Amino acid sequence: MFPHSQTARWWVSGQSNTIFQAHPGFHAKYSGTNSLESRAENETSRVETLYTGFQLTKSTEALFDMESAGGHGLSNALGLAGFTDLDVVRNPSLGEMPYVARVELHQTIRLSKQDVTLDRGPLSLATTAPARRLELRFGKLSTVDFFDANSIGSDSHNQFLNWTADNNGAYDYAADTRGYTYGFVAEYQSERWAFRFGEMLMPTVANGITLDWNLSRARAENYELELRPALLKARKTTLRLLGFDNHANMGTYRQSVARWKAGTDAVPTIENTRRQGTVKYGFGLNAEQEIGHGARVFARWSWNEGQHESFAYTEVDSAVSGGADMTGAKWRRKLDRVGVAMMSNAISADHQAYLRDGGLGFLLGDGGLNYGRENILEGYYNLHAWRGVFLGVDVQRIWNPGYNRDRGPVIVPGLRLHIEL
C-alpha cells in the first residue's frame, strides 16, 4: 500500500490475511472426537502482523514483530493431517490478543570482499551483503523462516494454503501452537551453496503453547544443506537437504496400544507413555526450478521415524508433494499468480494401529481407521486488485481425510483477502 525505503536504517510494514473456507456435507461411515465434521460448515481465519526492524550497524540488525490471530479453522483444525488453512492457530482458546511473534538479533560476519545484492524485507533489512558470509540469529523466531523454505510453496498469504503444500509434512519442526519458538540459527552463505544449523526449544506437550527451557531434556536440532547448481541456463535451481532430531516429553504409539491390549488403559492413550528426552528424527528434500515465462516447479519429500508421537507440526510420518506456479504476465497481469499442487501424506504402521484402535492424536482420531494415504489436490488464483491488495480464490479436494477410507472425499473452496502495508 505504501513505499518502503531502501536506505533508511529502520523498517516498518504490516500485513493482514483473511481466509474464508467452507465445505459441503460429505460421506462418513462414522465420526470421532477429532474428526473433520461431515456436515456442511464454514469458518474464517485472520492474521495481522506488524513488522519492525532497525539496523544497529551495517552488519547488525534487530527485528521485533507483533501479531494477532483470530477466527477458527474448519472443525477447529481437527480431522486432517494436511489441514486446509496454514493461518489457523490450533488452540482457539488463546483468543485474539496481540502477541510477540519475533524478537531477533541478526548479525552478519564478512568472509569475502565481494558483495551481492539482496532483496530488502521484514526478515532481513540489508540490501547488500558479502558474497561469502556467516549469518547468526538469536531470539524468538519461526523455524520455517529459515528451514524448508521454498519460493513457490511456503507462503499462505500469497500462495498455497494447505499445511503440507507450504511445508514438508513429516518435518515436525519445533514450534509452539502459534508456530514460533526461541532459538539460534547459524548460516553459512556462498555463491553456489549454503549450510544452516538451528537449535530450537520444543513445547512441553504436543501442540502446546509453553516451551521447555531445559535443553538437557528438550530441544530440536535442525540441519540443512542448500545447493544452487546451474542445471538450466539462466534458470534458477535450488536443492535443499534437511535433517532434524527432536528431544521432548513424547509418547510411543506401540506402547500405547500394548497398554490398551493389556487392560491398563481403557483406550490407547499416548500421554500415558510419555518420557522426557525421547528422540524423534527425520529427513527431507526440497527442490525448486525456474522453467521460464514466469513459470516455476517445486517438489518435496519427507520422512520421520513414526514410532513416537507427532508433537509440534502435524500428524504426518512420510509425505511427497509437488506443484507449479506461474505469473499472469502472458495475459497482461504480471502481479497475478496461479498455482497447482498435489500432496500425498502417510503415517507409520504403529501410528495407524493407534488410531484404528481408538487413540487420539493432537489432530486426528475418528474412533476407527480404514487406512489409506491422505491425498490432496490444491489450486489457487491470486489477483492483484490495487497497490498492496490481493484477492485469492482457492480450491482443495481431499481424498481419505485423516487417512480414513471410510470418510470423504471432501471439497474445500476458499477465498482470501491479503493486504500488504
Percent of the chain with pLDDT over 90: 95
The number of domains in the chain is 1
- Please compute the mean of the pLDDT values over residues 241-259 and round it to a whole number: 98
pTM for the complete prediction?
0.96
Name the pLDDT band for 63 (thresholds 50, 70, 90): very high
**Band of residue 92 on the pLDDT scale cut at 50, 70, 90:** low
In a domain, 62, yes or no: no
Please say whether the beta carbons of 301 and 146 come within 8 A.
no
Indicate whether 35 belongs to any domain: yes
- Mean pLDDT rounded to a whole number for the chain: 96
Residue-range definition of the domain harbouring residue 173 = 11-46+75-87+150-180+191-420
81: CATH: 2.40.160
Would residue 25 count as lying in a domain?
yes
Q: How far apart are CA 369 and CA 248, in angstroms?
A: 27
Q: State residue 94's pLDDT score.
A: 79
Q: What is the pLDDT of residue 410?
A: 98
Q: Is residue 101 assigned to a domain?
A: no
CA quadruple 131, 123, 134, 194: dihedral positive or negative?
Answer: negative
pLDDT digits (tens, 9 = 90+) for 210-233: 999 999 999 999 999 999 999 998
Residue 128's CB is within 10 A of a number of other CB atoms, namely 11
Does residue 341 have a pLDDT over 90? yes
Structure confidence by residue, pLDDT tens digits, 155-209 = 999 999 999 999 999 999 999 999 999 999 999 999 999 999 999 999 999 999 9
Cis peptide before 409 (omega within 30 of 0): yes
